[in-house]
Chains A and B, each alone.
Chain A
Amino acid sequence: MYSLLSFLLPPSSSPRRPVSHSTSVAVEAECTHGRKGRRIASSVFASDSWCTRVPSNLFRLENKEEEEKKSKTDDGRRWEKMEEEASLLLLPPGLLRETMPRHVAVIMDGNSRWASFRRLPVSAGHEAGYRALREIIDLSSSWGIRALTVFAFSTENWLRPKAEVDFLMRLFEGLFKEHLKDFNRKGIRICVIGDTSKLPESLQILSREAEKDTKHNTHLELIVALSYSGRSDIVQACQKVAHKVKDGILDPSDVTESIIAEELETNCTGNFPYPDLLIRTSGELRLSNFLLWQSAYTELFFAESLWPDFGEADYIKALASFQQRQRRHGRRI
């Protein structure tokens, strides 16, 4: 690794200096390291000549006074902020930081087909899909995406065979139980939307605990749509607004789009309620009742690959496609 790094650096620079004694600028890796790039960011290079697409004041520890001021804050939070800023810059080649979507939504379609193509049981497809989800969460976290909404289980999915539904519920419990420490370490906040009253009691408890444990995390907002329907989301928002009118809090003529939008379930996170990019895998061209109001101006990307096969390369393709689009919102540019 160090021989590779010394090859990349100009001969006059030293390959590595400790953070506290250097003027340092985080390097945007020109090589094809995705998550591996994060390991490079954690060791800092003293090389201003590598500051190409990165503002030089973004990541700098210049002198001891600044270092002492920073040392007064919590070390864990400081490290998280440094890692966040560094990781934001280490995007794969072809992706620009300035035009990265802030909120990505994913319809994870194709698990059953993936399993049937391989003559495996459906549960194997869902397990493979679960691993793909973990990878996309990690990538989103590394690339500075601030919110990721995943369509894990729709209201229509309750019609599937009971064994499959029970298996999926166990998978979701595993997501909240086994990876909670990992989410906290990476600053991922969990939010569950949908009609959770239909979920098993154990899953309801786990999801509430996961939301409570991670509510102070700010690096990535992971919104998991369980038993969710976009139509029901809009209807419940309308009913809440109507309730306010009934109670005299609002006049009917005061009801506006923003007042209705505030009551949508995706406002649980508050920062980025509307997705910039919505990805659907398996080549199907429909929204399947997912984030209807919220996807009014969302760019849609339909990937041909099935969800378990959707990996870093497909994700890069989707993000690159988003970055090439002109978002006009009805205007002319």
Chain B
Amino acid sequence: MVTVMGKIQSFIPDLFSGFLCFLRGIMFHVLRHGPMPKHIAFIMDGNRRFSRRHNMKLGGGHRVGYHTLISTLQYCYEMGIKYVTVYAFSIDNFKRKPDEVEEMMSLMIEKIEEFLQKGSVISKYNMRINFWGNLKLLKEPVRLAAEKAMAATAANSGPVLSICVAYTLTDEITHAINEACKEKYACREEEEQEEEEDRAISVDDIEKYLYTEGCPDPDILIRTSGETRLSNFLLLQTAHCHLQNPYALWPEFSLWHLIWAVLNYQRVYPYLEKIKKSK
């Protein structure tokens, strides 16, 4: 009797999560009757404020934020959203206190290692990971971990998670111009032989070297904690993107905030589609 009760008790959490999963499935099925975004970008703002509010030690808010990221990724991929981009660390964030930067870097290495383990959300969904940004600005252990994760998941055909680290758009465009100019004008001996038009940099030349090349532009950009600014994140790619700024801090971001963002996107979808077709 005790054994049976014990077994029932161990099944209850699984039953409950299964029931929630079933309810979510129904909700997502209803949502999918309207137009669904293909790419959502997140500015994960508010970890430190969450930490202070709950009297956590340094890095506590970021660790809770990581779990929010994992659950948000699951919701997105269950909804059928193929591309998710997150703004993990900006070049401007290097101006923070060294111990805070160090804490974030060590958290990043730890979580990248977790991503590559069996049973992680990455392996569950056969996800591909990209790290966008000026990785040369990172310390070697972090850079090597990022490159290892990209190499390990390059062949995955599932949803794509792009993590912006040491990233700003202005740096991305500068990098693209540098690379485009090196490619076009590297061999000066060939200059006289080329036509003038062939030597001019075009839009395609610039876009080829953007970190976001091959990925569609975001349909929704969500910045948490109520702040309404883009902080140099995907400015070029979010020209016609729908912006959302829920007041919740990033660790408090939930399924309901995500569903609300998708519903708002569906409301403005006809206008956004008209703009895309006109290009």
Contacts and interface: CB of A to CB of B under 8 A. Distances in A.
A302 B228 contact: yes
Contacts of B92: 329-331
Interface string A289-305: 10011011111111000
A238 B206 contact: yes
A231 interface: yes
Interface residues of A, number: 41
A234 interface: yes
A239 interface: yes
B180 interface: yes
Contact of B231 (A235, A238, A293, A297): A297
Contacts of A241: 177
Interface residues of B, number: 49
Contacts of A292: 169, 235-236, 238-239
B62 interface: no
B181 A252 contact: yes
Nearest to A253: B178
Contact of B170 (A231, A293, A298, A302): A293
20 contacts: A159-B278, A230-B239, A235-B206, A238-B177, A242-B177, A242-B180, A242-B201, A246-B199, A253-B178, A255-B174, A255-B178, A260-B174, A286-B243, A292-B238, A293-B235, A295-B235, A299-B229, A330-B94, A330-B96, A331-B95
A156 interface: yes
A257 interface: yes
Given A295-B230, A331-B95, A156 B275 contact: yes
A257 B232 CA distance: 12
A166 interface: no
Contact of B169 (A252, A293, A301, A302): A293
Interface of B: 48, 90-97, 100, 168-171, 173-174, 176-178, 180-182, 184-185, 199-201, 203, 206, 227-232, 235-236, 238-245, 264, 268, 275, 278
B97 A286 contact: no
A287 interface: yes
A52 interface: no
B185 A246 contact: yes
B201 to A, nearest CB: 4
A155 B256 CA distance: 36
B130 to A, nearest CB: 22
A80 interface: no
Contacts of B235: 230, 292-293, 295-296
Contacts of A256: 174
A289 B244 CA distance: 17
A286 B267 CA distance: 13
Nearest to B272: A286
A332 interface: yes
B192 to A, nearest CB: 13
Contacts of B174: 255-257, 260
A302 B243 CA distance: 10
A329 B182 CA distance: 31
A209 B95 CA distance: 46
A219 B90 CA distance: 36
Contacts of B268: 284-286
Contact of B232 (A245, A260, A284, A297): A297
A218 interface: no
A235 B235 CA distance: 13
A20 interface: no
B63 to A, nearest CB: 18
B240 A286 contact: yes
B96 A332 contact: yes
List of 8 A-B pairs having minimum Cβ-Cβ separation, nearest first:
A330-B92, A242-B201, A252-B181, A296-B232, A300-B228, A289-B239, A285-B243, A292-B235
